[in-house]
Structure 1
Amino acid sequence: MNPTLIHYRTLGAIRPQFFRTYQQNHRLATLELVASKQILHACIPSTQEEDGQPDLGSSSWVASLAIEAIDSRYLLVGSGNGSIQLYDLDETSGEESSHIPTNTRSSGCQVLTPLGDIPNTVGHRYTVADIHWYPMDTGLFTSSSYDTTVKVWDTNTLQTACTFSLDHKVFSHAHSPLGIHSLVAATTSEPLVRLCDLRTGAFSHTLTGHNSQVICSQWSPRDPHLLCTGGADGTVRLWDVRRAAACLRTLDQHNQANDDPLAPTHVAHNASVNGLSFTQDGYQLVTVGSDRRIRLWDVTTGKHLLVNYGTKVPCSRLRKYDVVIPPLADCWPPPVFIPFSKTHEVTGWDLHSGQSLYRLQGAFRPVVCAAWRNGHEELYAGGYDQEILVWGPESHGNKALEEEQALADDWSDTD
């Protein structure tokens, strides 16, 4: 931290907003792997198929992550074998484990013990493809799986409160961050978006318009009734769930004018759309597709903003990718992070210029999911190596290693 800046802030010579902006930019600019917060997810070696990828039915690789936005304290982890774990990120009573696998970076890393564990005998039978906290209350969370179900869980008892059976593989689901309604949008391997009502435990209605599987979805942080979905047909659609003709617009990468929201010529990507995310203010949208392109859109006009994000990104087909945009109103330039399994890293870009800013490395195997911890400027990511890695500001450091190094240097000729 800049002592001169702190001095001027103490004297009131600079505005609080300027000081906050400086601090956020500095912390983001110094992101590094935080060894002291490395979380061991599982010690069970994953089985492999002939293609070298984990066996989705039996391994405990990290498939999905979610950090609640109220206190930014509790972490949910969905596994490849269908189990779910709950962690307290502020826990300080963890003990060093002597059972850490040989592929971890430090034999003395502190392992956080899960507060709760839902085994696959109780939870999902297959991969937990997506997991989310209820936006207004940490006493509730939801999960979706390739076993064709969306489950609602009581956090206190870790028991199922409700189960929605969709009869098709579920790729993702989404809550409205505004909490105005209780609808959960679920995307499946059929060309439909199903809206599940948490209040009634039944399906509200179905959105039709996609011509193939629907991979990803997200509600607008500005309009509680505006939903965005991306499908294997290459289209990104905006919906108003209150209307009978719900599809408002289909985004087009060439910005062609057409008043028909279901126009078949409008495509956002030349292949499947694998991930999308609104910015914090809800005015812009980022999408990533298996055509290996990232695109930025103006939500109000539907225009493609033609930002060049450089080299083609390694993105595979028919799997949801987490697009993480930190909710930092005072940060400039605003970053966007996407984990890529082929490069074993999380890559970050300047949202508006497309300049590459980060290549967060440290994973030994593909990284498939990521989540941002607001207020701490930390990025959590997991993947096939069964670990949850943390990147944070340089000031975090590894306190244990620093203290050990200080003691090693504190000697004299009399010792």
Structure 2
Amino acid sequence: MLGLMAARQAGLDDPARLRRAERTRRVLSLELNKDRDVERIHGSGINTLDIEPVEGRYMLSGGSDGVIVLYDLENLSRKPSYTCKALFTVGRSHPDVHKFSVETVQWYPHDTGIFTSSSFDKTLKIWDTNTLQPADIFHFEGTVYSHHMSPVATKHCLIAGHRQEVLAVSWSPRHEYILATGSADGTVKLWDVRKASGCLSTLDQHNGEKSKASSEAANTAHNGRVNGLCYTNDGLHLLTIGTDERMRLWNSSTGENTLVNYGKVCNESRKGLKFAISCGCNPEFAFVPYGSAIAVYAVFTGELITMLRGHYSTVNCCVFQPHFQELYSGSKDCNILAWIPAPREPVPDDISEKSLPQQHLNPAYEDAWSSSDDEG
């Protein structure tokens, strides 16, 4: 790291390389933080978490008791040990509380004044954060397993919600009209919401080649229920997970299965599984609930990097905080745990610039300024 800092200062290297290296180091050093607690409010399992993308400061949680909680993640006490306090709770006594399990909560991508929630009570609610009152309530005939608002849409404010057996849904972070859905029938479909004629494509785990084992497996993404999907931050790839205990990485443009082998991925959930992907690292990492632990995978190689252990029961969801490379997870044990990068080792006093690796100056970063005194 000292070498990267010196190279950046001297114009030897791209400044973005230092940022990627430090973000990657922080993700690889994630550990359960004993000095940071998240106030325990939920009386039953936590199904969903979301951190607002504007400041990265406020986090929502939704539980199987129908309760929604908003937390402030900032350390206002400035002390080494602190608790992330709940700012408000939509509790059982609230007149507009969800009657059954909350499956998804999400902040409005551009403003912390609005958030959304959907539930097994067959409703999707749009909340005013300031008044803690629903601005609108949508009633459906079937169970709402998941919903999602596009993070990049500028020409629409559609919320994608699916009923009955569609368990996971996500807008592309690259194209505002493209939507991916995962179903209990094992299929993953890509949609252009401007087209009424049907889906753009159905992802095929065999890339067009017929399955030798079963013809029924053709044109399916998984041999079980697809209950989790997540785009990479650049939108170029889509990661899916199914109850066949497999995770697959897809080229989102061509729909091709990249055939990355992640091995057996424990997934016993009968409903949606919320996992996360890092942002700004090299390589990128996926954080996947794995029983009572969280498995960390290298997205493009499939390597299992580590297992984060700390929960007492099944982990249902996790969310990545890209500003500080932190991870938060929610479990059936009613706890939300904070996973924070380990502190950096202190630099020895005898390190000097002479001991750092010498490199040739990159011409792109040469100082082109010259003094008039040097000119002839």
Change (3 A) 1:5 1:304: closer
The aligned counterpart of 2:91 is: 119
Q: Distance in 2 between matches of 1:285 and 1:5?
A: 32
Match for residue 357 of structure 1 among 305, 309, 317: 305
Change (3 A) 1:350 1:376: same
Change (3 A) 1:219 1:393: same
The aligned counterpart of 1:146 is: 120
Q: Deviations over 1:120-163 (max 9, x none)?
A: 34320111101000111111000001111000000111111100
Q: Distance in 1 between matches of 2:320 and 2:203?
A: 27
2:170 and 2:181 in contact (8 A); partners too: yes
Q: Distance in 2 between matches of 1:386 and 1:231?
A: 27
After TM superposition, the structure 1 = structure 2 runs for residues 269-288 of structure 1, keeping only pairs within 5 Å, are: 269-288=222-241
Q: Deviations over 1:157-204 (max 9, x none)?
A: 111110000122111001011132111011221xxxxxxxxxxxxxxx
Change (3 A) 1:9 1:214: same
1:94 and 1:113 in contact (8 A); partners too: no
Q: Deviations over 1:72-123 (max 9, x none)?
A: 110001122111111111142499xxxxxxxxxxxx9633321111113432
Amino acid at match of 2:134: T
The aligned counterpart of 2:279 is: 327
Q: Distance in 2 between matches of 1:360 and 1:373?
A: 16
Instruction: Give the C-alpha shift of residue 264 in structure 1.
Output: 9.1
Change (3 A) 1:264 1:359: closer
1:41 and 1:62 in contact (8 A); partners too: no
2:74 and 2:84 in contact (8 A); partners too: no
The aligned counterpart of 1:302 is: 255
Q: Distance in 1 between matches of 2:102 and 2:268?
A: 18
User: Which SS does the other structure have where 1:21 is aligned?
Assistant: helix
Change (3 A) 1:298 1:7: closer
* TM-score between both structures, scaled by the size of structure 1: 0.77
Instruction: Give the C-alpha shift of residue 14 in structure 1.
Output: 3.2
The RMSD of aligned alpha carbons is: 2.1
Amino acid at match of 1:114: A
The aligned counterpart of 2:142 is: 168
After TM superposition, the structure 1 = structure 2 runs for residues 78-117 of structure 1, keeping only pairs within 5 Å, are: 78-93=62-77, 110-117=82-89
The aligned counterpart of 1:184 is: 159
User: How many equivalent residue pairs?
Assistant: 337
Instruction: Give the C-alpha shift of residue 223 in structure 1.
Output: 0.8
User: Which SS does the other structure have where 1:379 is aligned?
Assistant: strand
Percent identity reads 39
User: Which SS does the other structure have where 2:329 is aligned?
Assistant: strand
1:292 and 2:245 correspond: yes
Unaligned runs of 5+ in 2: 211-215, 346-376
Deviates more, 1:7-16 or 1:270-279: 7-16
The aligned counterpart of 1:404 is: none
Instruction: Give the C-alpha shift of residue 3 in structure 1.
Output: 4.1
The aligned counterpart of 2:208 is: 256
1:220 and 1:282 in contact (8 A); partners too: yes
Q: Distance in 2 between matches of 1:313 and 1:114?
A: 33
Deviates more, 1:238-247 or 1:7-16: 7-16
1:267 and 2:220 correspond: yes
* TM-score between both structures, scaled by the size of structure 2: 0.85
Match for residue 337 of structure 1 among 268, 275, 287: 287
1:175 and 1:183 in contact (8 A); partners too: yes
The aligned counterpart of 1:217 is: 169
Deviates more, 1:284-293 or 1:249-258: 249-258
Q: Distance in 1 between matches of 2:130 and 2:344?
A: 31
1:63 and 1:79 in contact (8 A); partners too: yes
The aligned counterpart of 1:238 is: 190
Q: Distance in 2 between matches of 1:346 and 1:264?
A: 29
1:67 and 2:51 correspond: yes
Change (3 A) 1:226 1:345: same
2:120 and 2:144 in contact (8 A); partners too: yes
1:34 and 1:396 in contact (8 A); partners too: no
1:226 and 2:178 correspond: yes
Unaligned runs of 5+ in 1: 45-58, 96-107, 190-212, 398-415
Amino acid at match of 1:235: T
